[in-house]
Structures are given as structure tokens and as C-alpha cells.
Structure 1
């Protein structure tokens, strides 16, 4: 199945009534830069990179530049050694200068890579999670780029992780019957009133959610403390509650406010400071323990994730396949996380569409713990095959591909 042409789309969706708001992104417009790999058949590989509206056109232009060498390639041939193809794209000299491995160019790479995996799964007529499980450890590692990780994760060690977990997959197959547990982020958007977060908490729990997230990072910390207390009181002591500052605080502020938020016993405190500040996160993690730090939504690549792991600066890895270099780098970071003992709980800029596949593979194929996956339903109506949630569990997708196709 040959890639005959490439179509690029700039898709933007307005949000209303405070939906999607956080302390840093107060008036978001959710958007995707979309890479469509055409084949001359009815099948198209669709890949997403998540943006927030303005600037999506820049990512689309970068997709045009980076994807041109794929025209004429057969998808099976391309994916047999995709790790090498990936590294050639990511290290193209002129584009590397614009990163390296971050920003507009890396977002474009995410869309291209995700389209390749989507087309690969569609060409084999299986959902992405099954494609990944059907690959041998060697075949899967061939699709990854492990460069710059060699001192902590070699090719042989990556294959060993997958091989060891291949032998115990049967112990984790029950997730295909139960589905994958979700948590509700839409309970507590930043611009919601106190009354609305209380009502949303009750509604989420009525729908089966036992894990909920609140956006914090207010100029007045007491607003955060009050709202966190409201959710804890409404949800009860047995509920799992996370709080997310979306990078708002400096390190001294984070240390002070995190301790105060500790009164509600949060499961984690997310993005407490600038996403590039490894030592800042390390300082926070050390000083607020046993409270846990989650981050990764804005960490752009595997090397910086490696540094976070080495510094013990995060307790939960929130890598996002539409932020890093697509499925390939997501899987690389998941292997690195497994190697270094950090659980993966992805951020879902794709609204959970691709990640519902990836967490299934992470759990069954790598042995990552089945914790939960973020659920944000606000773009559900725009997908041809949207993620389905029943009693707070993601249902296992059965349609071939990565569930990324958007309605026209």
C-alpha cells in the first residue's frame, strides 16, 4: 500500500462557557494540525498534533516540509525500520536547527508519525492496540529511535522488557474485557464557578467516575484551597482527586501551596512549575513528599523525560503522543519509564482517541500498571469513531486504525 499524496488540514474548535480553561490557558481554542496520508485506495492514514488555535498554520506548514519524502513509500516497507526513518526526519539538519526535537517542527513530526501508525494499522485491518501487540519485540523496537538514551536504555534492554512481558501477557488480558479505567478532567475547569464544580463532581460520580481533577493556580491561593476542599467534601474521602496548576507557580509558590493542598490528600499535583525546569521539579518533589508530582504534558522529547527520570523529579509520567514525536516517541518514553520505574498516565491532547490504544499496549505489552486515562469529551462529536466511555471505563476500540479520523 503506497503513499500517493499528503493532505494537511488545520482544524480548530471553539469552546464555550469556561470549558478547557486552566490557570495558564484561560481562553483556549482546541485545534489539530492534521496529516492525511493518501494511498489511492479508500484508506487514509490520519495523524494529529494538538495545538491551541493560533499557530496551527505554522505546524501545518512544517508538516508539508517534513512529510514530502514519504510520498511513494509503501507503508509496510516504511514501518519495517521506521526508527531509522524517524531519526532521519527528526535530524534533518535545517529542521533540527529549529528545535532540536521540540516546538513547531516536533509537533509536525507528531502528526506525520501518528498518520504512519494509523495507516499501518488500517492496512492490516486491526486497531492500533492490536497492531502493536501483534508485533514481535524486535519489530516494535525497529519502529523506535532510542538515540541519546543509550546509557539508560539500549536496544537490547528494550527488547528484553518486551520479551519478559510477552510471557506474562495472559495475566493482564482482562483489561480487554473490562475496558480501561478513566478519570474525569472536566469536573473542575479553571473558569468554572464553585457551584458548577460541585454539580460536576456529583454528576461525574453518578456516571461511575471515582477519580477527578481540579484546575488550580489562581492568583489567590485561597481560591484553590477552597475549591479543592469543596470537591473533596462532595466526592468523599474514598475518591481519588488530582490537582493541576498548569505550570503557573514558581518554585517557592509551589512549595507553599502544595503543602496547603496536601490537606485534601491529592493523588498527585500536576505541572507545579515551568515544564523545562528539571531541578525545580526535583526540588518540589523532594520537599512535598509523600505528595506526588505528575508532569509531562509540555515535556517535548525523550531526552528531557530521561533527565526528569534521572533526577527523580516526577512520580507520574504524562507523556502525550500528540505533543512528543508521535506514537514512536511515546512508546520509547513508555519503555524508558518502565525501565526506570515510573508509571505512565498520559495527558490526552487527542481527547483520548489515540491514547486509549496506547495505554492498552502499555499495560498488556509492557506491564505498566492499569491506573486510569484522562477523559475529556469536548471534541467527541468531531470524531468519526469517538472514544466510548461506559461506567467510567474506556471501551476497547475495535475499528482498524488509531481512532483519529475527524468528520469533515
Structure 2
């Protein structure tokens, strides 16, 4: 069989790069085709994702070498099934971890991602790099390969933690004046007692009273929800969270994000049953469509925030969008913007009704875009969707030097 060198995978590896002062190291998955075409995903999200990929380079090369990048079987779910045939991802739908079989709805995470979740982030990076290759080989941005036509996306600005009402108002006003009508505020006070609830409500009251009427605010409780994992105090703390969510309705938030820990489906049920009008967002720290489905079936999420870098890559994020659009007409999908390039391509391929806007993490994205030919950023609250072939702007080799290449024999 004759291979098309331009679209046939030769090698999967990791490149580690730094600036010319050997600082600001980033690592990327790099998939190389025989004709020299390369696809990238990254920068990898810290040591956990780097090791999750590095420790599986042999497996990825075994299953991908000499495969055509346009082979429909080369996508997240199919690759997982090939590597882990006895560990179906559908286990998530029943609250079971696909690798170890644990009951995830009653488990306690010791870090941001579960052990199996870290493995899924490795597969996610491979999937994104393959889509980058497909776009480059086709001379089209990924959203066009997905038949998307949107060229501009409204953006909301994120990462706006503030300790005082004054600080929150100052930050929000600054971004509103830059054209961002939506912003997300991370509430800083842990709802472990009445004082924490009260102090958070003071911040919301200040924003509600100060911002113009057309400003919209999301509230992220994810930094607080880990307190609920302590079984000895969970019941009381869930009561405080419930009280806070009830009071939050007075400020008409766009959504309330991750009011309890990601895997705490019972906690979500408690919040939603006590506050049926509360608009809840989540899914950033869940993996695959099967993990999300029970939350959607129970009506617990109004906004799905799947992250392509974590949930299963572009392929799985698209599968999630299709599932939501087909079966949950009142739910919206706003992917977590940890990787703005992949997220924007996914959103641009959806209707505005399904995916109305994108996230801009202003404290994170500039560094993650450091080594690309340019850094896509929203202007006046609008992100122009990159039209470069692939996932977005390519790596610019004039901005960095390769300090190490990790291959499957290492």
C-alpha cells in the first residue's frame, strides 16, 4: 500500500522549548508526518499532563505510526478503545472510574484531576495535535473542517478573584470599559460559616449596584467547593453553600459555576433541588460525554464547560456539543478556555444558540500563547477566530529554541 507522506504519521513525541535566555519553558506534543508536516498541542498543562503523555509515547506511536491523519478511527474515543479495550469510557455514565472501577460519585480527589483524568488529558493532547495536522494538510482552520462559519466570538473575561468589594468593582469596571460586558468573578471567602457567605454576598452586592445594567457576571465557586470533600463537615458546609446560592439569585448571575466538587453529583442535586431557578455551570473537570450525561439527564447543568485539553480533545468536545444539541435543548456549551485556540475553533463550529461566547483567561492565556506567531486576544470583548490552517497560529521558531525532545524510547 502506498503511503501519502504528507498525511502519514511518522512519530509522536514531545518537544521542550524555552526562550533564548533558556527561561519560560513550555512542552508540546508534536506529531510528525513523513513529509515533514507537524501538528502540535500545548503547552502541556504542567508536570501531570507532560508525564501522562511521556509515559505513553510508546503506546501512542504503536497505535498511530503509519496511520493516515484523516483516518476517522484516529480520534479520542476510538484511540482509547484501542489502547484500553477492557476499560470502556461508558463506565463514567454509571459513576464508575473506567480504569479502576471506583465509585467516582463518592470519591475524593486529592488534586485537580483524578488519576484516570490525567490519562485522558494525554489522549486529549494527541487528539488536538491530530486535528492541527488535519487543518494544516487541508490548508484550513479546524472550524472550517467542522463546517463552522463563525468568524467572531463574544468573549467573557475570567480569572478575576478579588478579596474585597472595592477590588472586585475596580477590576470589573476596568474590563467593562475595555468592551467586556461579561466577566467571571471567583468568590474568595470559603462558605464554611456564616461570615464567609456574608463576605461573598458583599462582593456580589457591590458589583450589582455599581456595574452598568447591561453588564453580566458569572460567579465561580470552584475554589471553595473542595471544602465539601471533608465528610465530617460536609453536611453543614453544603448547608452554607445552599444558603449562598439562594441569596445569589438576587444578583441575577449568568451562572453559578461548580458550587460543589466536580464528582459530587449528589451535592449538585441538593443545590438544584433547593434552588430550582439557579443557573448552574460545570463540566470543566469532568471527562468525556459519558461523564457529563448523568448530570444532564438529571437537569443539574445549564451550561456545560467541557475543556478540550482535558475532556478528550477536539473530537470529544464536538461529540459533547452534538449530544447536548440533540438531547438537551435548554443547555448551552461554553468550553473552558484554558486553551483558547482549541476552544475557539470548537465554538466557531457551533451555532450561537448552542455556544454563545468564549472564555478569556487574561492571567493565563498570554503566557500560553508566548511562542506562537501571534497571540489571539479579544478586542472590545470580541475574539476574531484564527483563520490559520490547523488549530490556530503556528509555533514561531524565531521565538524559542528546542532544549529537549522526548521520544518513545526514553
TM-score bracket for the superposition, by shorter chain length = 0.7 to 0.9
- For 1:253 and 1:405, the matched residues in 2 are separated by 47
User: Does the alignment pair 1:105 with 2:119?
Assistant: yes
> Which residue of structure 1 aligns with residue 170 of structure 2?
199
Q: What is the CA distance between 1:112 and its match in structure 2?
A: 0.5
- For 2:325 and 2:72, the matched residues in 1 are separated by 24
Pairs within 5 Å for 1:274-289:
274-289=261-276
CA contact (8 A) 1:31 1:50 kept: no
> Which residue of structure 2 aligns with residue 20 of structure 1?
none
- For 2:125 and 2:161, the matched residues in 1 are separated by 27
Q: What is the CA distance between 1:307 and its match in structure 2?
A: 0.5
TM-score, normalised via structure 1 length: 0.76
Q: What is the CA distance between 1:404 and its match in structure 2?
A: 6.7
- For 1:297 and 1:84, the matched residues in 2 are separated by 18
- For 1:234 and 1:116, the matched residues in 2 are separated by 46
User: Does the alignment pair 1:348 with 2:298?
Assistant: no
The structure 2 residue matched to 1:226, chosen from 192, 202, 215, is 202
User: Does the alignment pair 1:180 with 2:194?
Assistant: no
Q: What is the CA distance between 1:247 and its match in structure 2?
A: 5.7
Q: What is the CA distance between 1:226 and its match in structure 2?
A: 1.7
- For 2:375 and 2:335, the matched residues in 1 are separated by 18
- For 1:109 and 1:209, the matched residues in 2 are separated by 34
Gaps of 5+ in 2: 1-6, 89-97, 103-114, 191-195, 229-237, 401-410
For the residue of structure 2 that corresponds to 1:353, the secondary structure is helix
> Which residue of structure 2 aligns with residue 38 of structure 1?
32
For the residue of structure 2 that corresponds to 1:222, the secondary structure is helix
- For 2:121 and 2:40, the matched residues in 1 are separated by 14
Q: What is the CA distance between 1:389 and its match in structure 2?
A: 1.4
> Which residue of structure 2 aligns with residue 8 of structure 1?
14
- Alignment: residue pair count: 343
Pairs within 5 Å for 1:13-28:
none
Pairs within 5 Å for 1:84-95:
85-89=78-82, 91-93=84-86
Deviations 1:70-120 (A, max 9, x none): 1222212x2366477434345344896368994221110000111111101
> Which residue of structure 2 aligns with residue 398 of structure 1?
387
> Which residue of structure 2 aligns with residue 169 of structure 1?
none
Gaps of 5+ in 1: 14-29, 135-172
CA contact (8 A) 2:121 2:312 kept: yes
For the residue of structure 1 that corresponds to 2:172, the secondary structure is helix
- For 2:54 and 2:86, the matched residues in 1 are separated by 17
Deviations 1:180-204 (A, max 9, x none): 1100113x225x6554432221221
> Which residue of structure 2 aligns with residue 239 of structure 1?
215
The structure having more radius of gyration, on CA atoms, is 2
The structure 2 residue matched to 1:209, chosen from 155, 180, 184, is 180
Two-structure CA RMSD over aligned residues (Å): 2.9
- For 2:40 and 2:100, the matched residues in 1 are separated by 25
CA gap of 1:316–1:118, structure 2 versus 1, over 3 A, is same
